[in-house]
Amino acid sequence: MADHLSRRGFIKSTTAAGAALGAAGMAATPTAASAKPAARYQDGLSPWPLSMNTSTIRPATLQEKIKVTAEAGWDAIEPWIDDINKYEEEGGDLKALGKEIKDRGLFVPNVIGLWGCMPGTQEEWEASLEATRKRMRQCADIGSQHVAAIPAPDREDFDIKWGAERYRDLLKIGREEYGITVAFEFIGFLKGIYRFGQACAIALDSNDPTACLINDTFHLWRGGSGFNNLGKIDGSLIANFHWNDVPASTVREGAGDDVRVYPGDGDLPLEQALRDLKRIGFDKTLSLEVFNREYWKQDPKVVSETGLRKMRECIERAQV
């Protein structure tokens, strides 16, 4: 009987101690009301900063692209490496350009990108590094947070294990030599790496905690991955999300980049995708990337303003 009572006393005392520790833990944890609110952009409309990918406003000069992006009210600009390289080759100072971008109230979330950075043999890989390092340095000079690594040269027998190892090397070079994070981008019409799952495998198997992806609504559609499992990853895996739409009548097989239209002008499930992104904690940039030839014929100022309005309307419809 005494033994039974002692056991009861022990249970009672440990339960009380656990309750006290739980209360202390709760006191140390910020309440929802006191926690720092999530950042909002575009006058509070968007949980994400909105970026103009400069493919949308070709063939304007890089400086004109920066100007119309800032004046329209975007939060960021995502340039292409060919524009940056041309600017430098013509005598431009990339660090001064980065300051101009910042002074206009913009930032650079990513640059497209590292072309030909994942050839299939060790010899070809080593030969590619000079051009890759130059591009990393240029992107870092303008203050970009990321640079996109494209799984090319394209080939049907692209080895995912090899890709993961090379991506790990690229991450290390970018981080240690240039202070920039390399993000892996899959392309829906390539023969090799064209699906979301393949890209996730390469990023995760790199075994680098900074591994991340550039996602794209067009490439999710074009590569056949779809949108239904977007909400099953952690939002921190995505560094930047290219945003665009595709008309309902478009045949997926054989479709090129030029079929893209403004968000809301097609039938991709963009609003549900936004709700999924919010739920998984994605907090990086949405970047309008459209290669529509008809838009290129228009005044880039008009395209920039229209694109931002379409992005904002898409977010508003999603009620995020």
How many domains does one find in the chain? 1
Helix (H) or strand (E) holding 318: helix 300-318
Asked if residue 155 lies in contact with residue 194, where contact means CB atoms within 8 angstroms, the answer is no
- Looking at residue 185, which CATH number applies to its domain? 3.20.20.150
41 inside domain: no
Q: How far is 90 from 246, CA to CA, in rounded Å?
A: 37
Structure tokens at 197: 């799952």
CB-based contacts of 85: which residues, under 8 Å, 6+ apart?
Answer: 135, 138
268 inside domain: yes
Angle (CA) 168-172-175 rounded to 5° is 135
244 inside domain: yes
Residue 22 pLDDT exceeds 70: no
Write down the pLDDT at residue 38: 84
Write down the pLDDT at residue 35: 53
131 inside domain: yes
Interval 86-91 mean pLDDT:
98
State which residues form the domain around 143. 47-318
Find, among 255, 118, 110, 124, the residue nearest to 193 by Cα.
Answer: 118
pTM for the predicted model, two decimal places: 0.88
Residue 28 pLDDT exceeds 60: no
pLDDT per residue as tens digits for the range 194-221 = 999 999 999 999 999 999 999 999 999 9
Find, among 300, 281, 284, the residue nearest to 292 by Cα.
Answer: 300
27 inside domain: no
Q: How far is 282 from 238, CA to CA, in rounded Å?
A: 7
pLDDT, averaged across the chain: 91
228 inside domain: yes
Find, among 146, 237, 246, the residue nearest to 188 by Cα.
Answer: 246
289 inside domain: yes
In degrees rounded to 5, what are phi and psi of residue 288?
Answer: -70, 115
284 inside domain: yes
